Amino acid sequence: MMHKKSHTLIRYNKQRSRNWLLAGVLAILTLACTSRKSVPSGVLDQESMQQVLWDMMLADRFSTSFLVRDTSVKDIRAANFALYEQIFELHDISREEFIESYKFYLTRPDLSREMFDSMAVRGTRLKDTLYKRQQDSLNLERMKTDSLARKDSLHTGSDSLKRVDSLHKVDSLHKVDSLRKVDSLHRVDSLARLRTGKTALKPAEKATARRDSLDRVRASRLLRKQEAARRKARRDSIRKASSIQPTNKSL
């Protein structure tokens, strides 16, 4: 019985020793990770240094895109240093603090790699955002252009319908005029017949009157055919013009 209790006590002590050893290893690893990212006094932390480097990168891009083309800027290098001074003032640091921090991160490539990787992701995200804004702007301009083209097409179609309507009115007037002319010819013919009816017409005069009547009918039919041909030509020209105009505007 005593032997069994001693064996249990030994096992308990071994398990306790293992737990203390594991806790010690975890504490050492935690301290190592903490000290790995810690920076000495007078050096900017990773987040602050990354923000300063990001703003300096934007300043360099502004310089190469705009200051180089500005003829009033005589010294590009001096203009860049002036931009850097504004960045230092914005982040409330001095030039010496930045230089000291920059030298420190040169000795820590692991921390520098983390900063520049984060800046690369940020730059890609910014590029995608700007591209999306540009595409949205182009789509909006395209929608406005299409809307104006539709309004112009509707206006052109309305004008074409008005022209066709006016031509129909003109054709109707021509028809009325032609009917009046034919009616007047029939009236003249009837009066002539009444006047000549008092005396018996000779066979030759009857034949002549019949030929004159047939000639008037033929002339009336020919006039109608000519009017119909002119109306058809006008309608064809209007259809061609209305089908060509929207195509030219879209081009």
pLDDT in tens, 217-231: 787 788 888 888 888
Nearest to 228 by CA among 239, 216, 220: 220
61 within 8 A of 36, measured Cβ to Cβ: no
- pLDDT at site 69: 76
Q: Where is mean pLDDT largest: 6-10, 69-73, 78-82, 201-205?
A: 78-82
- pLDDT at site 50: 94
Q: Where is mean pLDDT largest: 29-33, 60-64, 107-111, 191-195?
A: 107-111
Examine the pLDDT at 121 and tell me if it is beyond 70: yes
Examine the pLDDT at 164 and tell me if it is beyond 90: no
Q: Give the burial string for 184-206 (b: 16+ CB within 10 Å, else e).
A: eeeeeeeeeeeeeeeeeeeeeee
Q: Which residue has the higher pLDDT, 145 or 193?
A: 145
**Integer Cα distance of 238 and 250 in angstroms:** 19
Within a 10 A sphere around the Cβ of 44, how many other Cβ atoms?
21
- pLDDT at site 251: 42
- pLDDT at site 5: 56
**Integer Cα distance of 221 and 214 in angstroms:** 11
CA contacts within 13 A on the Cβ side of 128: 6
Altogether, the residues listed in the chain come to a count of 251
Examine the pLDDT at 100 and tell me if it is beyond 90: yes
Examine the pLDDT at 30 and tell me if it is beyond 50: no
Domain ranges of the chain: 1-38, 160-250
Within a 10 A sphere around the Cβ of 82, how many other Cβ atoms?
11
Mean pLDDT across 49-78: 86
Mean pLDDT across 107-129: 92
* pLDDT mean across residues, the chain: 74
Q: Which pTM was predicted?
A: 0.44
Q: Which residue has the higher pLDDT, 54 or 27?
A: 54
